[in-house]
Amino acid sequence: MNTQHTREGLTEHELHALVDGLVSRAEADELQGRLRSDPDLAATVQAWRSQREALRGLHGELLREPVPAPLRAAGDRVAARHGRDQQWWRWGGVAASVALAFSAGWLVHARWPAAGPQFAAAAPARSFAHQATVAHAVYMPEVRHPVEVTAAQQDHLVQWLSKRLGRPLRVPQLSAQGYELVGGRLLPGDDGARAQFMFQNAAGDRVTLYVGAIRNGAASSRETAFRFTEDGPVPGFYWVDRGFGFALSGKLPRAALLALATAAYEQL
Amino acid sequence: MNQALLLAQLPGLRRYARALTGDLWAADDLVQDTLERACAKWTLWRVGSDLRAWLFTLMHNLYLNQRRSAPAASARVDLADVEDDLPGETTPADVGLDLDRCLQRLPHDQRAVLLLVALEDMSYQQVATVLSVPVGTVMSRLSRARSRLRELMDGAEAAMAAPRPVPLRRLK
């Protein structure tokens, strides 16, 4: 293993981990302290940090603009191929064929139409997502009481919240992304009680998973596509599945949030 | 594999492909080829495993294959070599253009590592998995990439900061 040491005894790994924010606050302070006596290396870390920020701003418009129709269609084929595309057919024949016609025929404009089978589901889901981000902002800064029941009593936590929400809940495992469960709490909601699970990584960053019943307007559209929201105090991804809303919120870049939301989705 | 989940990956794939290839046309082609490969190889994805990492791995392997079979296509006029001769004021857009151009001047294996870490927030271990190299290799490529990009950007800034009269030179 290559552990090239720099003048200050910082390994290559530590140097990059410091730049990329992959260390805990305590470790970062310690490393930063060691850098103080090596101004050249400290300058390098600073330069690499700015470089990282500049890179993260590159081609941001590609994240925000709609995906061109041919790519969307190719993506649809992958999902269909895997054969687990149940919600597509659950919309019912007419709605599905309308959506298919749009995706196949919309060649001139790359814009996906806002009106469509999902439109009726959008407003309650969006409001749910917004409430998730507000709840995140309220509890995230808490040092002593971030949660009501801690991860030490995870079984009890899950049992309790499942009972109150009226549906068996599961806590996703986010340790592959570096996040551990802190605990959870019960919150009020429009269509019944809601649950908030909080996760934290080594650097102290926190994300929350917000779960609860959503009563959509249109009975047929009980599933919402994976959506990104930037309206609230923090960004997040949200989706609706069989009458329940799920929202993953945190003050993280989109790619990191997507990785976490994807992992949560796949397990819930 | 949920359709919505897959579609949510596409913007990130496009952006990474754009930064990797330096060209939106080539990028969208690469993403398209990746999705077609994902279709053909769909049995290789295990339900519950990391969909994003799988797609990036497929895309990276395709990118390497493309480079191997069409090396001439990647040889373009390097504008940085002639930009001293081009007049103009620096705008914020120019800085982005510079970053993009300087990135393209990195060897592709360094560029890939830097982008996966900085753009996609992948851990070093995840990057190692996507690129099928040891973590140690990821770290050394990352060091070279960051150092080299810094040199290139400093060089580009210096060129911008010192406006000179445009000499008349014939472009070959």
Q: Where are the domains of chain B?
A: 1-71, 91-162
pTM summary value:
0.63
- Note whether A51 contacts B4, CB cutoff 8 Å: no
Name the band, by pLDDT with cuts 50, 70 and 90, for residue B91: low
- Which portions of chain A are predicted below pLDDT 50? 1-3, 85-97, 99, 102-121, 218-221
- Nearest by CB to A56, which of B18, B100, B118? B118
Inter-residue contact A77 to A100 (CB < 8 Å)? no
Q: What is the pLDDT of residue B92?
A: 54
Q: What is the pLDDT of residue B43?
A: 75
CATH class of A118-267: alpha beta
Q: What tens digit of pLDDT does each residue of B59-83 get?
A: 999 999 988 877 655 445 555 555 5
Q: In what order do the strands lie in the sheet with A149-150?
A: A149-150, A179-187, A194-201, A206-213, A244-250, A236-241, A224-229
Listed by number, the residues of chain A in 191-250 with a beta carbon closer than 8 Å to a beta carbon of chain B are 223-226, 228, 237, 239
**At the top level of CATH, which class does the domain B91-162 belong to?**
mainly alpha
* A67 contacts chain B (CB < 8 A): yes
- Contact in structure between B152 and B102 (CB atoms under 8 Å): yes
When CB atoms are compared, the residue of B6, B139, B150 closest to A13 is B139
Do residues A71 and B10 lie in contact, with contact meaning Cβ atoms separated by under 8 Å? yes
B1-71 adopts what CATH topology?
Rna Polymerase Sigma Factor; Chain: A (1.10.1740)
Give B123 to chain A, closest Cα distance, Å.
8
H or E segment to which residue B127 belongs? helix B124-131
Minimal-distance CA residue of chain A relative to B145: A48
pLDDT tens sequence across B97-130: 689 999 999 999 999 999 999 999 899 999 999 9
Q: What DSSP assignment string belongs to B22-56?
A: S-HHHHHHHHHHHHHHHHHTGGGSPTTS-HHHHHH
Q: What is the ipTM of this complex?
A: 0.81
CA distance A9 to chain B (A): 16
Residue B95's pLDDT is what? Answer: 61
pLDDT in tens, A167-225: 899 999 998 888 999 999 999 988 889 999 999 998 889 999 999 988 765 443 456 67
Q: Could you tell me the two tokens for B152?
A: 């290139």
- Mean per-residue pLDDT of chain B: 82
State the CB neighbour count (10 A cutoff) for residue A103: 15
| Intervals of CATH 3.30.200.100 along chain A | 118-267
* A262 to B32: CB separation less than 8 angstroms, yes or no: no
